[in-house]
């Protein structure tokens, strides 16, 4: 899931500038879960914009605005409201906003109301944690336990821990468990400490050259 946070209203208003009529686009998946782009957040921003003299011509919440056909369908259903708008405000991640820009045939400026933070998983309490940074060459199997050192160790060490680990906590963030302490614990519990004997080779960072793409339809 893509984790987002809401931008402050002042920043959103600055981005909208002197445009008056705004069409809102939310996201029915990630941003709804993050409480940044579901219906309650769209209605809240609608109220804030209207209190500042703007008019909201309408809104839509595609399940996933990063999926092109969903944007096309949502805009087709809301054609008049989009046509009446001077500007489109997307309450979703950067993927959603750029997908809306690419798919919009209305030639309206597209602005974003969220900051995209990271790719994360939700724990039982509903908090979000970054567990994978899409490095393109997954080492989870090599580590021997499904804990990612590339992401969960701030230094991205493939052979750890570093000398800064203290009572199982990370020296960079003392509130945080050391990823390598967790890996050791996991391997120990499963009787797989042999995984630590092998020195992992340096990571192939060429896989991280951006922008990535995966062509499915030639
Ligand atoms: S090694 Fe870590 S960052 Fe890379 S793909 Fe696997 S889980 Fe994601
Ligand atoms: S203490 Fe552990 S998690 Fe923190 S930087 Fe060192 S090896 Fe990585």
Are 50 and 103 part of one and the same domain? Answer: yes
Substitution site in 166, 168, 172 for ligand 2 pocket (most atoms within 8 Å of beta carbon): 172
Are 114 and 195 part of one and the same domain? Answer: no
Are 172 and 76 part of one and the same domain? Answer: no
CA max distance for the chain? 66
The answer to the question of residue 125 being in a domain is no
170 C-alpha to center of ligand 2: Å? 5
98 C-alpha to center of ligand 1: Å? 25
Average pLDDT, the chain: 96
Domain that holds residue 171: 131-207
Are 6 and 111 part of one and the same domain? Answer: yes
160 C-alpha to center of ligand 1: Å? 16
Are 113 and 29 part of one and the same domain? Answer: yes
> 35-50: string of b/e by CB count within 10 Å (b at 16+)?
ebbbeebbeebbeebe
The answer to the question of residue 218 being in a domain is no
Q: Which of 30-39, 103-112, 155-164 has the lowest mean pLDDT?
A: 103-112
134 C-alpha to center of ligand 1: Å? 5
Task: Give the residue from 72, 91, 118 where a domain finishes.
Answer: 118
Q: Give pLDDT tens digits for 37-67.
A: 999 999 999 999 999 999 999 999 999 999 9
What are the phi and psi torsion angles at 41 (to 5°)? -75, -35
d(CA 136, CA 121): 18
Average pLDDT for residues 182-202, to the nearest whole number? 96
Q: Give pLDDT tens digits for 144-175.
A: 999 999 999 999 999 999 999 999 999 999 99
Q: Which residue has the tokens 């309490």?
A: 125
Average pLDDT for residues 182-187, to the nearest whole number? 98
Q: Which residue's C-alpha comes closest to atom 4 of ligand 2?
A: 170
The answer to the question of residue 202 being in a domain is yes
The answer to the question of residue 91 being in a domain is yes
What are the phi and psi torsion angles at 116 (to 5°)? -90, 125
* Burial class for 170, CB neighbours closer than 10 Å (0-12, 13-18, 19+): buried
Average pLDDT for residues 136-150, to the nearest whole number? 96
Are 14 and 91 part of one and the same domain? Answer: yes
d(CA 194, CA 217): 43
The answer to the question of residue 123 being in a domain is no
């Amino acid at each position: 899931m893509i984790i987002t946070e809401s931008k402050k209203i002042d920043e959103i208003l600055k981005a909208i500038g002197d445009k008056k009529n705004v069409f809102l686009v939310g996201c029915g998946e990630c941003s709804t879960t993050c409480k940044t782009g579901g219906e309650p957040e769209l209605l809240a921003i609608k109220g804030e914009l209207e209190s500042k003299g703007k008019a909201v011509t309408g809104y839509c919440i595609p399940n996933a605005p990063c999926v092109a056909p969903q944007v096309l369908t949502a805009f087709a259903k809301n054609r008049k409201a989009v046509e009446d708008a001077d500007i489109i405000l997307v309450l979703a991640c950067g993927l959603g906003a750029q997908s809306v820009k690419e798919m919009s045939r209305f030639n309206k400026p597209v602005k974003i109301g969220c900051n995209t933070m990271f790719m994360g998983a939700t724990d039982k309490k509903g908090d979000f944690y970054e567990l994978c940074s899409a490095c393109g060459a997954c080492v989870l199997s090599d580590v021997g336990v499904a804990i990612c050192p590339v992401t969960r160790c701030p230094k991205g060490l493939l052979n750890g821990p570093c000398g800064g680990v203290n009572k199982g906590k990370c020296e960079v963030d003392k509130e945080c468990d050391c990823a390598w302490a967790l890996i050791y614990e996991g391997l120990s519990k499963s009787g797989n400490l042999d995984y630590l004997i092998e020195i992992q080779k340096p990571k192939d960072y060429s896989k991280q050259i951006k922008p990535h793409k995966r062509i499915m339809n030639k």
